[in-house]
Amino acid sequence: MAKERAAEPGEVVLSVKGVRKKISRKWIIDDVTFDVKEGEIFGFLGPNGAGKTTTIRMLVDLIRPTEGTITVCGYNVNRNPEKALQYVGSIVENPEVYTYLTGWENLQHFARMQPGVDGQRITEVVDIVRLDQRIHDKVSTYSLGMRQRLGIAQALLGRPRLLILDEPTNGLDPKGIKELREFIRNLAEDGLAVFVSSHLLSEIQLLCDRVAIISKGRVLAVGGVDELVARNSPYVLWDLEPVPAARAILEGHQGITLLKLDEVTLDDSVIAGMGGGSVITVMDETLIPGIVADMVKAGVGVRAVHKISPTLEQLFLKLTEGESID
């Protein structure tokens, strides 16, 4: 069956509206809403147990939502899975393929389950994931990275418009992770919408254009990664002498908030480097030169001024009020 819907730039490929799921009288998923557009890499960030995998299972019709709708390219996933899932390639959790078949037999198996996928297309996807050397070996002899690639090959078979990857970097070595990141970016540049879940903030920050943050079954925020990060002012660390006079100057200025050490979320390495003369503030960075001048005028010695860029982690902790990410 031909894919009749032509690609419009920025067209919404996946639309999730007001999805809720009740499992044995408990709302596991409580209001999830977001859109994924074509050509973008969409991150789905949340701690373990927040409902990421349950949500992903609903996206691919493994679980039926109790309320709300999920549409892919205009087709309701639950009511019309034969149409909607044609546009979706997915790996839910681990890339579980048949280990007693060869890589090629696995791809053949899944090719038979969708229209318009022939031997030539299988060769294409094998080349894309660079498995051509080992494709005729039994999957039981594959490494985890190779299985991951076979899983992606399987997901790409039907020329999907939406690729869903659940924690794709799990179990990969740093080199493999870097390769995967580049690979996903290339796919997105070709117009594919990629939906990636992760509990790693750095992963999402490095890879994604937009992100939805989920905790306890609720989506807390959706937006561009940069935009969400920019919502947080940067921390500025001061190393000063003498501290009381310096604090008085800082408190006297508009737009500067002084923080105690336990109010901030900083890397342990930064905290370890701070001496007794440290003051932490949240402020606009344009104010820094004027304040330094005031300090010098008042005879306060400035040893260091250190700006720390906001991270998603800060944002996350702010949104979830201190719940741990991992």
Partner 1 sequence: MTNLLPLIRNECTKIIKKKRFYVILLILLVLVPMFTYAQMRVAERSRDKFNSDWRLEIQQRITDNQNSLSSDRIPEEWKSYRRIFIQQLQYYLDHDVNPNEPSGVTFTREFLDNSVSLFIPLLIMAVASDLVSGERTTGTIKMLLTRPVKRWKVLFSKLAALLMFVSLIVLSVFVISYLISGLAFGYKGFNIPVFTGFQLSGDTVDMSGVHSVPQWKYLLMQGGLIWFVSVVVALLAFMVSVLVRSTAASIVVMMAALIAGSILTNMAAAWSTAKYLFMVNLGLTGYLAGTPAPIEGMTLPFSLAVLSVWGLAAIIISFAVFTKRDILN
User: What is the size of the binding site for partner 1 (CB under 8 A)?
Assistant: 34
Measured CA to CA in angstroms, residue 316 lies from 50, 203, 221, 236 at distances of 13, 14, 9, 19
What is the C-alpha separation between 218 and 276, in angstroms, rounded? 41
Residue 107 to residue 157: CA distance in whole angstroms: 8
27 lines the binding site for partner 1 (CB under 8 A): no
The amino acid sitting at 312 is L
Torsion-angle region of 25 (φ positive above 0: left; ψ -120 to 50: alpha; else: beta): left
CB atoms within 10 A of CB 284: 11
Q: Which of 68, 81, 145, 310 binds partner 1 (CB under 8 A)?
A: 81
Residues 126-155 that bind partner 1 (CB under 8 A): 154
84 forms part of the interface with partner 1 (CB under 8 A): yes
- Kindly state the smallest distance separating residue 230's Cβ from partner 1, in Å: 36
Candidates 2, 25, 100, 260; binder of partner 1 (CB under 8 A) is: 100
Q: Which helix (H) or strand (E) holds 295?
A: helix 288-297
Determine if 78 is a binding residue for partner 1 (CB under 8 A): no
Q: Residue 214 CB, nearest distance to partner 1 (Å)?
A: 18
**Residues in 155-194 that interact with partner 1 by CB under 8 A:** 158
Select 93 or 263, whichever has its Cβ closest to partner 1: 93
d(CA 31, CA 218): 6
Q: Which is nearer to partner 1, 195 or 316 (CB)?
A: 195
Backbone angles phi, psi at 142, to 5 degrees: -80, 150
Contact flag: residue 70 with partner 1 (CB under 8 A): no
Q: Does 114 bind partner 1 (CB under 8 A)?
A: yes
79 binds partner 1 per the rule CB under 8 A: no
SS3 10: coil
Q: Give residues in contact with partner 1 (CB under 8 A).
A: 1, 23, 57, 60-64, 81-86, 88, 90, 92-94, 96-101, 105, 109-110, 112-115, 154, 158
